[in-house]
Amino acid sequence: MNDFTKDMANALFNQDKINDLFRQKLQQAVNDLLESELTAFLGYNPYERDGWNTGNSRNGAYYRKVDTQFGQIEIKVPRDRNGEFHQHTMPDYKRHTDVLEQTVIKLYSKGVTTREIADLIEKMYGGYYSPAMVSNISKEMIPKVEAYHQRHLSDKFFCVYLDATYIPLKRVTYEREAVYIAIGIKPNGHKEVID
């Protein structure tokens, strides 16, 4: 996650690159969620022996382009061999999204515990997911968030300050949502994104 920290710091200083960074991270998060959804549906991870001779297995994927406020993302929608899997992350034929962006951003702006992720996903999808499916999808995101929060920080900071970037989000109307970033300045003058 150190690369993400560096990318975020560079994007903050170059305002034109921040939307591209968010677009890349959003695309990665959506594709991870779709893959987790298929794993929860099939009941086994890719290449696991448990999946042999079950009567249903992974069968490639198809690609869709979706317009977001950060730009166009390409999502990889996985398929199963029997055609029984119907994903609920992105509604069929929908080419624009607004709720999914808010959820992914809130995953990072909140403390991101398992319970909070489950609450957000349940609010977004309602009865589509059983508690077991929510737990499986949440488990996919936990290692990435924990790795970021538990990374090694510099021992000493000369100064620590908070900064916010306001990003316009379309809900009923356009609203500006704050993304908060804690930045520490080391005694040698280098800046580091703390959280």
pLDDT digits (tens, 9 = 90+) for 3-22: 767 777 777 777 657 778 78
pLDDT of residue 63: 92
Flag whether the pTM goes above 0.95: no
Return d(Cα 92, Cα 155) in angstroms, integer. 49
Cβ pair 26, 67 in contact under 8 A: no
pLDDT digits (tens, 9 = 90+) for 111-165: 555 556 556 666 655 444 555 655 666 666 677 778 877 888 877 888 888 888 8
Residue partners of 9: CB distance under 8 A and separation at least 6 = 183, 191, 192, 193
Half-sphere exposure of 20 (CA within 13 A, CB side): 8
Question: Which has more confidence, 93 or 40?
Answer: 40
Return d(Cα 54, Cα 21) in angstroms, integer. 40
pLDDT of residue 101: 47
pLDDT digits (tens, 9 = 90+) for 51-78: 777 778 888 899 998 877 677 889 999 9
pLDDT of residue 41: 87
pLDDT digits (tens, 9 = 90+) for 91-121: 777 776 555 445 655 554 555 555 565 566 6
Say how many residues make up the chain.
195
pLDDT of residue 127: 44
Cβ count within 10 A of residue 179: 16
